[in-house]
Amino acid sequence: MKYSWLPLMPAVFAVSWAAILIRACDAPATVIAFYRMFFAVLLILPLSLTIYRRNFSEFSRRTFIMTLIAGVFLGWHFFFWIESLNHTTIASSVVLVTTQPVFVAIIARLILEEKIGLRGIIAIFMAIAGTILIAGFDLGLKRDYFWGDMLALAGAVMAAIYMFIGRIVRTKISVFPYIFTVYSTAAVALGVILLFKGDFKTSYPSMDYLFFLLLAVGPTLIGHSIYNYILKHIKAHKVSLSIVGEPVLASIWAIFIFSEYPSIGTIAGGIIILSALVLVFWRKG
């Protein structure tokens, strides 16, 4: 598939708007995350009951359980990352959450005993150095920024586990039953968190519901679904490399929409982290 990477372009564009839409919402992070997944599931429910109903038979007991686990981690990813945007800048949050490919490489080494290689080791240390630079600089500016940075990193770890499991399951299951099941599980997991946190209430401002819907349609159903689709058709490192575009675009949107300029520490650390991702994933094949 010579041009199989082309769908990654609209995927990156769609996902890059997530932080902007989240920042525009007044609702708590748990509520935003829950409704984002709830609306996504609601929009594709008719297809799951009609056209793609038979595809769910592709699940074995093992792949179904793995998909449920992936969904829980996806829910926690959204919870941590969206909460991080309440405490730090869009640029810092999005740059740090895109370190997920580095964590995927580490998980693959620990679980599958895959070799990381010299470039991978260098990239991991570069990512750590960039993270320390961003977090240290943000801590010097405001302690709350540091807490937001840590939440973004936690979101990156959750996303790494979700993508790692997804890569395994997607070789056996077609995209629709996978995304419907994983999104539904994420919505349920977030609903449980929502109930325990006590953030649930019957209604929020009408504009928030519009943003919830846009998050479901754009970053989720277009962005994440394309990522999940493409995992079966091109190598994972090319999918991971495309993630580099998200913080760049999101930071640009933040400047124009919120007049939120990234700090020197974020720019420097971001360049190091993004260079690390390019180093480890930009290879032939």
So what's the pLDDT on residue 281? 59
Greater model confidence, 127 or 219? 219
Gap between the Cα atoms of 97 and 156, Å rounded: 4
**How deeply is 1 buried, as exposed, middle or buried, from its count of CB atoms within 10 A (0-12, 13-18, 19+)?**
exposed
Q: Where are the alpha helices (DSSP H) in the chain?
A: 8-15, 18-24, 29-49, 61-84, 90-97, 100-111, 117-141, 143-169, 175-197, 206-215, 225-230, 236-242, 245-258, 264-281
**33 and 262 Cβ atoms separated by less than 8 Å:** no
Average pLDDT, integer, range 190-201: 82
Judge whether residue 67 has pLDDT over 50.
yes
> Sorting pLDDT into bands at 50, 70 and 90, what band is 60?
very high
Instruction: Decide: helix, strand or coil at residue 136.
Output: helix
**Residue count of the chain:** 285
What is the reported pLDDT for 233?
62
pLDDT at 173 over 70: yes
| Higher pLDDT pick, 223 / 234 | 223
Give the pLDDT of residue 31. Answer: 92
Q: Quote the mean pLDDT of the chain.
A: 84
pLDDT at 284: 46
pLDDT of residue 1: 45
Between 76 and 235, the more confident residue is 76
Once rounded to an integer, what is the mean pLDDT over residues 82-91? 89
State yes or no: pLDDT of 204 exceeds 70.
Answer: yes
Q: How many angstroms separate the CA atoms of 147 and 127, rounded?
A: 18
**What is the helix (H) or strand (E) element at residue 285, kind and residue range?**
none
Inform me whether the pLDDT recorded for 239 exceeds 70: no
Which tens digits make up the pLDDT trace of 263-280?
A: 888 888 888 877 877 776
Contact 64, 181 (CB under 8 A): yes
Element housing 59 (H / E): none
Look at residue 202 and tell me whether its pLDDT is greater than 80. Answer: no
Examine the pLDDT at 237 and tell me if it is beyond 70: no
117 sits in the region (left: phi over 0; alpha: psi -120 to 50; else beta) called: left
Alpha-carbon separation of residue 177 from 28, 117, 233 (angstroms):
30, 35, 17
- Position 2 scores a pLDDT of 47
- Percentage of the chain beyond pLDDT 90 is 35
Is the pLDDT higher at 146 or at 210? 210
For residues 11-31, average pLDDT: 90
User: Residue 3: what pLDDT?
Assistant: 47
